[in-house]
Structure 1
């Protein structure tokens, strides 16, 4: 059975560097022989998470997102850095997908538990989203994912991509290849 990796950009901005990075990650996942499952957060109507909303009637898009992630063996996430952390959009999506459903216990975490995650960031700043990556690693660890050690931070992102959307420099390309290769390998082993 083919390894399935959900690919998520924590940005829905037109021309997003992180969406470009996620698209490159999806290409590399396919090249590694796995299936890339794009998850476009702009297609999910997710209110800001509040337990009262969840208890009244969990949004159907929250259930749809959770089901999509639960059907995958791992995640590849590209996050922007907003005020030194991950985007509100991304955190809200993780919060909704982490909620129990269908009689699960509060700690079931079926969209995340025991799966592999790879993390990336692109930022126009000189550090490439490193603070956001640290926060994302912590959040994903809290929902019981195994975040692989490899990560990619792309600084000066407004100059890091070619007109065709590829990474312009060899080093980030090599890091992306290593990150995706390890993610597919670990996701496959964890699934077994």
Structure 2
């Protein structure tokens, strides 16, 4: 990466819910990445409704929102992903995004938009594990696509008690850990 250019990150949550705790977590991570010197584009998956991945749909042409997301991914050096845990795994919305964005399409080779990207994975949930089971699944999906995952993934338990009314992460210990994961990702891009 050029010394003059700031690292570029996409920050998003795998949740479609408007007031998702994981969307709050992604926004906090985005703010921390900016403070660490990165440019960050926050992506709300709700703004990019996607059909379920289907090769028959794909054969009719890349859907407009898929093309828009691929164009965003093409500008990114790294990803900040907040992964809500649904039944111990990733959300359908997040898995569908990965399936679409990883597909070859004449412009991009298979998995090209994940290969070589640096990613921080984190989650929050009301439960005591904080979404860690889903993070493990997400890591297992992204690593074979060529994405470098920060050695530390952060699971924030008790999501109903760690954010204020504006969505700021107010648990100082968790905020410190999130900052470390984000800074680790920015540093990996700058190497």
- Band of TM-score, shorter chain: over 0.9
CA drift of 1:142 comes to 1.9
Question: Which residue number corresponds to residue 29 of structure 2?
Answer: 25
Counterparts of 1:41 and 1:28, CA distance in 2: 21
1:158 aligns with 2:160: yes
Question: Which residue number corresponds to residue 145 of structure 1?
Answer: 147
1:187 aligns with 2:189: yes
**Secondary structure of the structure 2 residue equivalent to 1:158:** helix
Change beyond 3 A, Cα 1:80–1:104: closer
Question: Which residue number corresponds to residue 97 of structure 1?
Answer: 101
Between 141-150 and 127-136, the greater mean CA deviation after superposition: 141-150
Which runs of no fewer than 5 residues in structure 2 stay unpaired?
A: none
Counterparts of 2:116 and 2:107, CA distance in 1: 20
1:78-105 CA-partner distances (Å, limit 9, x unpaired): 0110000011001101110001122544
CA drift of 1:64 comes to 1.1
1:76 aligns with 2:59: no
Q: Superposition RMSD on alpha carbons, in Å?
A: 1.2
Alignment of structure 1 residues 32-71 onto 2, 5 Å: 32-71=36-75
Change beyond 3 A, Cα 1:67–1:154: same
Number of corresponding residues: 187
Counterpart among 126, 129, 149 of residue 127 in structure 1 = 129
**Secondary structure of the structure 1 residue equivalent to 2:73:** helix
**Secondary structure of the structure 2 residue equivalent to 1:12:** coil
What's the TM-score once normalised by structure 1's chain length? 0.93
Counterpart among 6, 9, 16 of residue 10 in structure 2 = 6
**Secondary structure of the structure 2 residue equivalent to 1:159:** helix
Counterparts of 1:148 and 1:38, CA distance in 2: 19
Check the 8 A contact 1:73/1:188 in 2, yes or no.
Answer: no
Counterparts of 1:150 and 1:64, CA distance in 2: 30
Check the 8 A contact 1:67/1:111 in 2, yes or no.
Answer: no
Which runs of no fewer than 5 residues in structure 1 stay unpaired?
A: none
Between 10-19 and 127-136, the greater mean CA deviation after superposition: 10-19
Counterparts of 2:20 and 2:68, CA distance in 1: 24
